[in-house]
Amino acid sequence: MKLIKGNTTLSEDQQWVESIIEKDQLNQFNLTNTDAPFNYFESFPEKMLTRIHSEKMNQQKTFEWRNLFFNNYARMAVAAAFITVVAGTYLINNNIVKKMSTALVSIQEIPNDEIINYINNNEAIAELDIDADLTKENTSLQSFNENEIQKIHQSLTQ
Amino acid sequence: MSSDQALIIQFQQSSNREAVFTELMRKHQQKVYYQIKRMVLEHADADDIAQMVWIKVWNKLDGFKMESEFTTWLFRVAYNETLNYIQKQKKQGSRLSNDDLFTYENATGSSDEPKSTEIQIALDRSIKQLPEKQRIVFMLRYFEGYDYEKIAGIMGTTVGGAKANFHQAVKKIEKFVTAL
């Protein structure tokens, strides 16, 4: 058995292999490992074209879906929706804060005279309510409970 | 029969791509199949891989720039697909080659068999047990008669690497056969 090194030609390489194993046995090995079912190669191209067609259809479907979600109009719609949500949230939050602060400021900024006037006016209304209760027909002190009598007494003495 | 280059130009320019592609398939399908089959041994596996190869070729042929020979590129696609397939099978825990080999060996091997059958079995076993790269180089060099440049192109390696793989493969086969 020889060992071939360096630049060897094809026939030299093949001769080297055949010096180890008989050519017939190598051919037999090749035959058993390259056999294909009957008519396989005749039907293969047709089978492949059918498969390529179905792959193309699948790719097209994926492409359509992708287009549906990622075309320019869809992107603009998504962006517009996002901006609306952000802006809406900002405006709503801003309005609530504004209202609250306005309410707080307005109570603090009411002049004292106005508050005193308001109390005085409401006192008169409250007195009128008590008078109305007392002057009702068939009203007796028995119909009032202790607390109510106390309240009436206080308002009359003030 | 048109040359590969002419067919590819037709494919890239023509509206009737399927007819051109069918011609390319008819021209090269057997060699692609044999290359794969020698690696995976089972027809079902070889058929699966061959289909994946031709789908890839269909998808990529538009961008093929004729910088290398079409067959070198085609066999390289086949080689890479086969390696990927074998790797996946290994990950899934099934050994592609040895099961079939042992079945064949048990069915035919006995002490009364003639010496040639023993050598045949040993040859089968030794080639099937070679690492993938060495096996493919051995097959392409001995059975297909490709030069080392083409083999290197298919495998994406250097000419020196291809030669070294062939040398290693033959040495291992020799060791296996002489051990009988």
Domain range summary for chain A, segments of one domain joined by +: 72-109, 112-158
State yes or no: pLDDT of B105 exceeds 50: no
CB contact under 8 A, B29 and A49: no
B48 touches chain A (CB under 8 A): no
> How many domains, in total, are found in chain B?
2
Q: In terms of domains, do B90 and B116 share one?
A: no
With CB atoms and an 8 Å threshold, state whether B170 touches A16.
Answer: yes
In chain B, which among 66-105 make CB contacts under 8 A with chain A?
Answer: none
Average pLDDT, integer, range B85-108: 60
Give the tokens for residue A68: 């549906």
Which of residues B45, B61, B95 is at a domain's end? Answer: B95
pLDDT digits (tens, 9 = 90+) for B58-67: 999 988 888 8
Query: What integer best gives the mean pLDDT of chain B?
Result: 84
Averaged pLDDT for residues A15-40 = 88
| B87 and B17 housed in the same domain | yes
Mutant choice from A13, A50, A63 vs B, greatest count of B C-beta within 10 A: A13
For residue B110, is pLDDT > 50? no
- Put simply, the answer to whether A10 touches B147 (Cβ < 8 Å) is yes
Q: Determine the structural domain holding residue B77 and report its residue range.
A: 1-95
* Of residues A112 and B83, more confidently modeled: B83
Residue B85 has pLDDT above 70, yes or no: yes
Local structure of A2: helix, strand or coil: coil
For the segment A140-158, what is each residue's pLDDT rounded down to a tens digit?
666 667 787 787 778 777 6
Q: What is the residue-averaged pLDDT of chain A?
A: 79
Report percent pLDDT > 70 for chain A. Answer: 76
B177 and B101 fall within a common domain: yes
Assess whether B102 and B70 both reside in one domain.
Answer: no
Structure letter (DSSP) for residue B54 = H
C-alpha A69/C-alpha A62 separation (Å) is 11
Confidence of residue B109 (pLDDT cuts 50, 70, 90): very low
B127 touches chain A (CB under 8 A): yes
Contact status of B116 with chain A (Cβ, < 8 Å) = yes
Q: Which of B48, B58, B135, B176 is most worth mutating to test chain A (most A CB atoms within 10 A of its CB)?
A: B58
> Is the CB of residue B137 less than 8 Å from the CB of residue B169?
yes
Of chain B, the end-to-end C-alpha distance in Å amounts to 48
Q: Which long-range contacts (CB under 8 A, 24 or more apart) does B69-74 make?
A: B69/B4, B69/B150, B69/B153, B70/B4, B70/B5, B70/B8, B71/B4, B71/B28, B71/B31, B72/B150, B72/B153, B72/B154, B74/B28, B74/B32
* Chain B residue nearest residue A20, CA to CA: B174
Distances (CA, A) of A78 to A74, A82, A89, B1: 6, 6, 17, 55
Residues of A with CB under 8 A from a CB of B: 1, 5, 8, 10, 13-14, 16-17, 20-22, 25-26, 28-30, 32-34, 36-37, 40-41, 44-45, 47-49, 51-52, 55
Q: What is the pLDDT of residue A139?
A: 61
Q: What's B26's domain CATH number?
A: 1.10.1740.10
- Identity of the amino acid at A155: S
B54 at interface of A, judged by CB pairs closer than 8 A: yes
Residue B121 and residue B81 in one domain: no
Average pLDDT over residues B3-29: 90
- Residues B163, B148 share a domain: yes
ipTM of the complex: 0.75
Which one of B43, B145, B178 has the shortest CB-CB distance to A10? B145
Predicted local distance difference test score (pLDDT) of residue A94:
83
Q: Is the pLDDT of residue B81 over 90?
A: yes
- Give how far B53 is from chain A: nearest CA, Å: 10
Residue of B51, B123, B141 with shortest CB distance to A25: B123
pLDDT > 80? residue A67: no
B110/B127 same-domain check: yes
Q: What is the pTM of this model?
A: 0.63
